Structures are given as structure tokens and as C-alpha cells.
Structure 1
Amino acid sequence: MITISLCMIVKNEKDVIGRCLSCVKDIVDEIIIVDTGSTDNTKEIAKNFTDKIYDFKWIDNFSSARNFSFSKATKDYILWLDADDIILEADKKKFKNLKQNFDPSVDIVMMKYNVGFDDNGKLTLSYFRERLSKRIKDYKWREPVHEYLEISGKITNSDICITHKKEHPVVPRRNLSIYKKIISKGNTLSVRGLYYYARELYYNGIYNDAIEYFNKFLDTNLGWVEDNISACLNLSICYLNIDNKKNSLTSLLKSFEYDTPRAEICCQLGYYYFNDNEYKKAIFWYKLATQLEKPRDGWGFVSHDAWSYTPNIQLCVCYDKIGDIEKSIEYNNRAAEYKPNDPAVIYNKKYFEGLKSNLKYKKATL
């Protein structure tokens, strides 16, 4: 059976680090904690699980800290987690089974990262990350922020999920600040850096600058296909926020240059036409979103509602707008299959019941 080193970088994680280490302690054989400047009792809590705790001076570079943590590993494979990650019980069982029956020819194991949830705890956003890596391959982390492990060799996808359970918001503009420091020093952003810097600008509502950098990224023609498609979606929303509808539409259509339509893009096209009161055009795109097959093994971001609930609830509204109540009811029922307790679904059901009651009343008074 293989052995596993857990490598983590942390800072002021007293509220979550115990939870994280408790759920993984029976899976791994070594726990390495690299602290980048905690002022709370993060390290004291970590001492209940390991004596391999190291200090690392923070230099605005996540990859440097992660590479330092990896350098301390001694086991066959390295697992990385963030302090606000957990492994649910079902996934712990899968992980233990993977460990016991592991194929040592595998260099990298990809695991799904579940990061977004609705108010009822239903998964809304996930993507694959490189979680388990063969130590002797000496893989390196790249990029100062939004870092990634530069991997090669035999790579396999696993059905094990890591769940992100954030308790506190990220330090405001932390990542944006790091990127701005890099640029202010005259350094050139990598292709990936252009994309993620644009995303940070977008998330912070700096739409004109985000548009500039999304376009710089796309103009390189060197981006990963999934990032290209995501950039087109975010670029479209940026244009909408500055009331540039023409370029918003163009950005969405550009995504088709890179691959077959994605439900996220189709839903945004539906939204575009819905807001223009062009309901039949909106229906076309929302319907297409319901007919697409959701990616299973791709490593890109997957907004699960776009492949299920969102197009159906929007089709309910669109058909109501054009007076086709039967179709409207049909799609509300389909939306209910995904989120039966959603306020919109419940409201629509009451709305349709009201319509039926009024219809019966009118017939009775004729």
C-alpha cells in the first residue's frame, strides 16, 4: 500500500484547520504544515495532529510556499489541501479504498473539487484538481497566485471529491493586489496570469480593465480551451455591465470557436435575449442547454445549475411570457425535479393554481 504525505500552507486558520486535519488524519501517513504568518493559534491546533510544522516568510507567492511544503514530504505520494477543505465520509471511504488498491504506475490523481453550493447545500460549482502526486517526480507549483501543479506522466481521474467549506471570505482584493504588484514591477504576466488577473478584475467590478485583459488573454491564442470558453462568458458579462450589448453577444458567440456549446454559454445567451423580450430566441438557447450532455471527465469549471435547473426554470418563464401555459407548467415541473423546494418553483406552482382557479371561475360564471 502506498504512503501519503499531506502538505498544507496555512495562515490564521484556527476556525477550520482542526476540522480539516480531523477528516484526513486516518488517510495520510504524514502531515506537513507550513505557516506563512499566523497571528492566531493555528499552529497550536496543528500540533495536536503533527510535529512537522514549519514557518515560511510570506512573499506574495503561493507557489513558493507550496513548493516549500512539498520539499518537506517523505512519503510515496503527496496530497495537498487548503485548511477550509474537508473530505466527506463517503469520499473518505473511497480514498481509503484507492490507497489500498493503488496502481503505483500512476503519477497524478485528479479529484473533483466541490466549491459552490446553494442555500440548500446542493452542489452548484465544481472542477477537477491535481490532488495526489508522486513525490519522486518532483512536480513544481507555478504562478504566484491561482497556482497550479505542473504535471505530466500517467494521469487518472478519480470519483473522490474534496469539498470546500469556506467559513470566512477571502481577504478583500488580496489576489488583485498581488497581480498589481507584479505589473507595477514591470513583470509580464503569463498567459494563465492574464486570464486570472482578468477574472480578479471582473470579480471586483473593474469591468473596463477586465475587458482589456480578457481580450489580451484571448488574443494570445495560447489559452487552455476551458479557460478560453470561461473567458468568453466572463467577458460577455463585463460588456453587459458597461451596457455594450453588441460586444456582449459577440463574446458569447466567440466561445463556439473553441469547442461545442456549453450550457453555461447557452444560458447566458438565453438571458441576453430574455432581457430583450425576444422570448422565442431565448427559448432556443435555454432548450439547447437542456439537451447538452454535461462533461464528466473534463477539468474545466462546471456550473451545475446551467445544465439542469436554470434553463428549465427560465423556459417556464419564457413560455408563460408567450402565453403557452401548458409548456410553462411542464418546464416548472422539470425544474422541480432538480430543486423541488426552490422559492421560484413553489411560487410558480401557486401562480398556476391561481390561473386554473380563475379559469374555473370564469367558466362557472358564463
Structure 2
Amino acid sequence: MISISLCMIVKDEELVLGRCLNSVKNLVDEIIIVDTGSTDKTKEIAALYTDKIYDFKWINDFSAARNYSFSKATKDYIMWLDADDVLLEEDYIKLQDLKESLDESVDMVVMKYNMSFDKNNNPCFSYNRERLLKRSMNYKWLSEVHEAISYYGNILYSPIAISHKKIRETPVDRNLKIYEYILSQGKKLAPREEFYYARELMYNNRLDDAIEIFNSFINSPGGLIENKISACKDLASCFFSQNKNLEGLQALFRSFQFDEPRAEICCDIGYYFLDRQEYNKAIFWYELALTRHLDSTSSAFQFVDCYNYIPYIQLCICYDKIGNKQKSYEYNELAGSVKPYDDYYIYNKNYFKNYFNDNQ
């Protein structure tokens, strides 16, 4: 059986650190906490779980802090978590099984990172992250912000998920300030960094700047295909926020130069036409979304609802608007098969009950 070092970097995480460590403490063989300047009880809480607590002066560089935490690991594999992450019970069991059975020829285990949830705690936005790493491979974190480890070696894609359960919001300009600092130092951003810099500009409502950087990234020869597709989606969002609707639609279509349509893009195009009451066009794109499939090995940001629930509920609306009540009803039932607790589904179900009763 393999041994695992849990390596974390923290700052002012007294509200969530205990929750995180309680969810994983019995699965790991070593807990390493690197504190980057807490002024609350974070280190006191950490001390309840480990004596391997280290201070690291914050230098506007998440990778530097994470690499320092990795340097303190002594076990076969290194696992990283953020303080507001948790391992849910079903994933705990899966990770326990993986720990007991993992072939030591595996260098990296990629797991799902569930980032947002519906009211019944089902994940609706997730993506893959490198999560368990063989220490002897000496993997290194790259980039000062939105840090990541390059994929190489013998990689296993696992259905295990880490759940990101944020209690407080990160200041919206935190990452943007880091980008602005490193740019002020004369650093040229790599393609991946340029993509994330554009996203931070978008989050901070600097839309013209975001549009410029998204275009630069999309036109550059480097960068991952999935990031290019996401950049087209984000670029469209910037244009739509400025009421530049045709430019937004063109940005969505631009994603097709990189690969076949993603369900997320199809749903955005479908909504464009639905909002303009062009229902047959909307139907085409929502039905196309239903032919797309989630890829468990993809690096993409995946909005799970775009592959079933959203097309179902929107097709219910579209078919109702063009007078096809039976097909509208059928799509609402499909939406209910995915989310039987959903308010829209329940409202529509009552609507159809009254309609069919009145027309018998």
C-alpha cells in the first residue's frame, strides 16, 4: 500500500481548515501545513492535526509556496488540498480503495474538482486536476497564480472527486493584483497565463481589457485547445455584457475552429436564439448539445447541466412556444429525470397537468 503526504498552503483559514483535515486525516500518513502569514487561529488548528507546520513569507507566488510545501514531503505520493476543500464520504471510500490498490507504476492521479453545486448538493461545475503525485517524479508547480503542474508520466484518471466548499469569497481582485505585479516586473505571460489573466480582467469588469487579452490568446499559436474554446465562451460573455450581441455570437462560433462543438457552447448559442424568440434555431442548438458527451479525461471546465438538464428544460420552453405541447411535455419529463426537485420542472409539470386536463 502506498503512503501519502498531504501538503497544504494556508492563510487565515480558521473557519474551514479543521473541516478539511477531518475529512482526510485518516487517509494520509503525513500532514504538512505551510502558512503564508495567518493572523487568526489557523496555525493553532493545524497543530491539532500535525507538528509539521512551516512558515513561508508570501511573495505573490502560489507556486513558490506550493513547491516549498512539496519539498517537506517524505512519503511515496503527495496529495494537495486547499483549506476549503473536503473529501465527501463516497469519495473517501474511493480514495481509501485507491490507496490500497494503486499500482506504483502510476506517477500522477488526476481527480475531479467539483467547484459548484445545486441546491441538492449535486455538482454542476467541475474540471480535472492533478491531485496525487509520485514524490520521486519531483513534479513542480508553475505560474505565480492559477498554478498548475504539467501532465507527464504514467497518468491515471480517477472518478474520485474533491469538493470545493467555500464559506467566504476571495477578494475579486486578489489574483488580478498578482498578475499586475508580475507584469510590472517585466514578465511576459505564457499562453496559459494570458488566458487566466484575461479571465481575471473579466471578473473585475474590465471588459475592454479582457477582450483584448482573450483575442491575443485565441490568436496565439500556443495554449491548450480546451482553454481556447473556453476563451471563446468568455469572450462572448464580455461582448454580451456590453450589448454587442452579434460579436458575442461570432465569438461562440469562433470556438469551432479548434474542435467540435462543446455542449456549453451549444447552450450559449441556443440561449442567444431563444432570447430572440427564434425558437426553431434554438431547438437546433439545444438538441445538438444533447449529442455531446462529458469526457472524463478532458482538461475543460465542464458545466454538467449543459449536457442534460439545461437543454431539456429549454427545449421544453421552445417546443411549447411553437405549439408542440407533447414534445414540450416530454422534454420537461426528461428534465425531471435529472432534477426531480427542480422548481422549473415542478412548475411545468403543473402547467401540463392543467393543460391536458383542459384539453381532454
Residue 248 of structure 1 is matched in structure 2 by 248
Aligned equivalents of 2:151, 2:260: Cα separation in 1: 26
1:59-78 to structure 2, matched below 5 A, reads 59-78=59-78
C-alpha deviation, 1:358, in angstroms? 4.1
Structure 2 gaps of 5+ residues are: none
1:265 aligned residue: 265
In 1, Cα distance between the equivalents of 2:179 and 2:85?
Answer: 25
Which residue is 2:97 aligned to?
97
The worse-fitting range, judged by mean Cα deviation, of 286-295 and 78-87 is 286-295
What's the CA shift string for 1:209-237, capped at 9, x where partnerless?
Answer: 11111111111121101111111111111
Matches within 5 A, 1:200-279: 200-279=200-279
Measure, in 2, the Cα distance between the counterparts of 1:296 and 1:51: 37
Residues 125-274 of structure 1: pairs in structure 2 closer than 5 A: 125-274=125-274
Residue 293 of structure 2 corresponds to: 293
Q: Secondary structure at 1:291's aligned position in 2? A: coil
Cα distance in structure 1, aligned partners of 2:72 and 2:258: 40
Q: Distance in 1 between matches of 2:314 and 2:125?
A: 19
1:132 alignment partner, SS class: strand
The answer as to 2:33 corresponding to 1:33 is: yes
The answer to whether the Cα contact below 8 Å between 2:274 and 2:282 also exists between their aligned partners in 1 is yes
Provide the rounded CA distance (Å) in 2 between the counterparts of 1:221 and 1:233: 18
Cα distance, 1:340 vs structure 2? 1.2
Per-residue displacement from partner, 1:46-69 (whole Å, max 9, x unpaired)? 101100000111111100100110
Instruction: Please say if residues 5 and 75 of structure 1, whose CA atoms lie closer than 8 Å, have aligned partners that are also in contact.
Output: yes
CA distance in 2, matches of 1:187, 1:216: 16
SS of match in other structure, 1:240: helix
* Identity across the alignment (%): 54
Counterpart in 2 of 1:5?
Answer: 5
Q: Structure 2 CA distance, aligned partners of 1:158 and 1:14?
A: 30
Measured after TM superposition, the shift of residue 187 of structure 1 is 2.2
Distance 1:43 1:329 in 2: 56
Q: Deviations over 1:100-146 (max 9, x none)?
A: 12211111111111111012212101111101111121111000100
Is the 1:139–1:151 contact (alpha carbons within 8 Å) kept by the matching residues of 2?
A: no
CA separation in 2, counterparts of 1:305 and 1:232?
19
Partners of 2:53 and 2:175 lie apart in 1 by: 25
CA contact 2:32–2:52 (8 Å) conserved in 1: yes
**1:3-44 CA distance string (max 9 Å, x none):** 111100001111111111111111111110000011110100
- Contact 1:139/1:149 (<8 A) preserved: yes
**One-letter amino acid of the counterpart of residue 153, structure 1:** G
2:162 alignment partner AA: I
TM-score (norm 1): 0.95
Tell me which residue corresponds to 1:302.
302
When structure 1 is superposed on structure 2, of 93-102 and 127-136 the one drifting more is: 93-102
Q: Deviations over 1:269-311 (max 9, x none)?
A: 1011112221100000001111222222222211000001001
SS of alignment partner, residue 290 of structure 2? helix
State the one-letter code of the partner of 1:207: L
* RMSD between aligned residues: 1.3
Q: In structure 2, how many angstroms separate the alpha carbons of the residues matched to 1:6 and 1:305?
A: 32
Q: In structure 2, how many angstroms separate the alpha carbons of the residues matched to 1:38 and 1:214?
A: 35
State the TM-score, normalizing by the size of structure 2.
Answer: 0.97
Q: Which amino acid aligns with 1:299?
A: S
The separation in 2 between residues aligned to 1:290 and 1:252, in whole angstroms, is: 18
Matched residue pairs, number?
360
State whether residues 172 and 204 of structure 2, in contact with CA within 8 Å, keep that contact through their aligned partners in structure 1: no
- Number of the residue aligned with 2:50: 50
